[in-house]
Amino acid sequence: MARKRSVSPTKAGPQATSGAQALALDANPAWLNAIRKNLVSWYQNHQRDLPWRADHDPYRILVSEMMLVQTTVAAVIPYFARFMARFPTVQDLASAPAADVLKAWEGLGYYRRARLLHAAAQAVVERHGGQFPRSRAELEALPGIGRYIAGAVASFAFDLPEAILEANTQRLLARLIAWPGELGKTPTQKRLWSVAEALVPDKQPGDFNQALMDLGATICLPRNPLCLLCPLAEQCEARQQGLQQTLPLKAARQAPLVSREVGVLAVRQNQLLLARRSPGQLWEEFWEIPTMHESGADPAGRVRLDGSEGDLIQAVRLATGLTITPGNALREFKYSVTRHAVTLQVVSGAVVKGVVEPGPGYAELRWVNLDDVVTFTLSAVNRQVLAWLQKDEAWRNLPPGEEPQARPKSRKKTSS
């Protein structure tokens, strides 16, 4: 039977539980025990069959959790299988070149995760002899491992009573206590972590945390939660107050920063000119067609354009060492990265003269056969460009220009 709530109605409708009321909930043993009992019972019959749950290997768990940050389970599953086939052990990942790791991650996005995962694997091998540390504090000391992932590895792999809080569970917990604050605010995060810590049991904490995640992912949905199927409906304050559709509160999204880029499709004997980004940039170690920034906030710090043809010629010369004759605008591609909404305009560029030499923003330039481009690690938008080139053979008829000169060898000075 649902508990009665003394809620004062207003013109705006029912109000969320006050902070003081919410603070008292996780101190209520009956409330805590009911959640644990009902959730574990539900999980026994409804748990998801996920490949990283096949065992308690901390390495597999770490890979899956890093992949799942801001990415859906459905999207991660095929990438996880390929990644584990390529790097089956933490030693395999630790010893792999960074370029190979990024290539295996290609298409999953948020590539900083791949770099941090690589660094964490190296730390496990170098600091711990290839054995994962068991304590949350030692796990958090690994590169890129925060409180949530440390708790996930500790509880899923070692069955330690460590709390977790991620996208699905923070939404679920905010509804359970009808928390009135915005999710992204520091007081809210502190409060939800305290609830998670109070809820996690000493017995089978890993299963309990997995159950919380599964319930949030399949029942306590962001929109139109399936409350009639929820095993915690009786314990849910938002449900009792009719606020399950409005909680948790989210901050208004900021407008994206609009940016424009120009990418040059330089062709030489059925080869494309590709450029590799310099270390320290957003797309570090990734390859792309030489690209200049035209307008808006530049997330990559590349050569800027003023929009004129002359400026493009100068910018390409600065970035690649080549002088080109700009051709037609061939196609536009739109993509998003962090807070930027970017339009990439691809133009043809006939090479006139010059020596191939990477300029600011690039570590290397290389002429590449189209069939070989797929072996390079490309950003998402450059994979779109590649797919277009593979379907549309017209690019092969672009003016090839002259053969670029080889870099002259330096000569030793001789005294006369």
Q: Which residues are catalytic?
A: 65
At 337 the three-state DSSP class reads: strand
Q: Are 368 and 274 in contact (CB under 8 A)?
A: yes
Sequence-distant (≥ 6) Cβ neighbours of residue 288 within 8 angstroms: 263, 274, 275, 277, 378, 379, 382
Q: Are 213 and 169 in contact (CB under 8 A)?
A: yes
Angle at the Cα of 280 from the Cα atoms of 278 and 284, rounded to 5 degrees: 55
Task: Return the C-alpha torsion angle 243, 244, 248, 250, nearest 10.
Answer: -90
Pair type for strands 340-354 and 271-277:
unpaired
Sequence-distant (≥ 6) Cβ neighbours of residue 406 within 8 angstroms: 355
Q: What gap in Å lies between CA 8 and CA 5, rounded to an integer? A: 9
In degrees rounded to 5, what are phi and psi of residue 29?
-60, -40
Residue 355 DSSP code: B
